Chain A
Amino acid sequence: MIELRNVNKSFEDKQVLFDINAQFFSGKNNLIIGASGGGKSVMMKCMVGLERPESGHIEFDKRDMLSLDEQELREVRREIGMLFQSTALFDSLTIEQNIAFPLQMFSNMTPAERRDRVNFCLKRVNLENINKKFPSEISGGMKKRVGIARAIALDIKYLFCDEPNSGLDPITSRLIDALIDEITKEYGITNIINSHDMKTVFDIGDHILFMYSGKVRWQGGKEDLRQAQKEIKELDEFIKASYFH
Chain B
Amino acid sequence: MNLSFFYHFGRYLMFIRSMLYRPEKMNVFFQRLFDEMSKIGIGSLPIVAITSLFIGAVTTVQTAYQLVSGLISKTVIGTIVSDSTMLELGPTITCLVLSGKVGAHISAEIGNMRISEQIDALEVMGINAPGYLALPKILAGIIMIPVLNIIAITLSIYGGYMAGEMSGILTHEQFVIGAQSSFKGFTLVFSMIKAFTFAFIITSVSSYQGYFTKGGALEVGESSTKAVVYSSVLILFFDYLLAELLL
Contact = CB atoms under 8 A, between A and B. Distances in A.
A5 B24 CA distance: 32
B125 A85 contact: no
A75 B117 contact: no
B118 interface: yes
A77 B129 CA distance: 13
A98 to B, nearest CB: 10
A84 interface: yes
Interface string A82-95: 10111011110000
B118 A88 contact: yes
Interface residues of A, number: 24
Contacts of A50: 120, 123-124
Given A105-B24, A105-B28, A90 B125 contact: no
A49 B125 contact: no
B242 interface: no
A86 B117 contact: yes
A19 B158 CA distance: 70
A104 B25 contact: yes
B127 A88 contact: no
Given A48-B124, A78-B126, A105-B125, A88 B116 contact: yes
A88 B125 contact: no
A106 B126 contact: yes
Given A104-B25, A105-B24, A105-B28, A77 B124 contact: yes
A104 B25 CA distance: 8
Interface size bracket, B side = 10 to 19
Interface in B17-59: 24-25, 28
Contacts of A48: 124
Nearest to B27: A104
Interface in B99-143: 113, 116-118, 120-121, 123-128
Given A104-B25, A105-B25, A106-B24, A90 B118 contact: yes
Given A104-B28, A106-B24, A77 B125 contact: yes
Contacts of A105: 24-25, 28, 125, 127
Given A104-B25, A105-B25, A105-B28, A88 B120 contact: yes
A148 interface: no
B117 A84 contact: yes
A105 B126 CA distance: 10
28 contacts: A48-B124, A50-B123, A74-B127, A74-B128, A75-B126, A76-B126, A77-B123, A77-B125, A78-B126, A80-B124, A80-B126, A82-B124, A84-B120, A84-B121, A86-B116, A88-B117, A88-B120, A90-B113, A90-B121, A91-B116, A91-B118, A101-B125, A102-B125, A105-B24, A105-B125, A105-B127, A106-B24, A106-B126
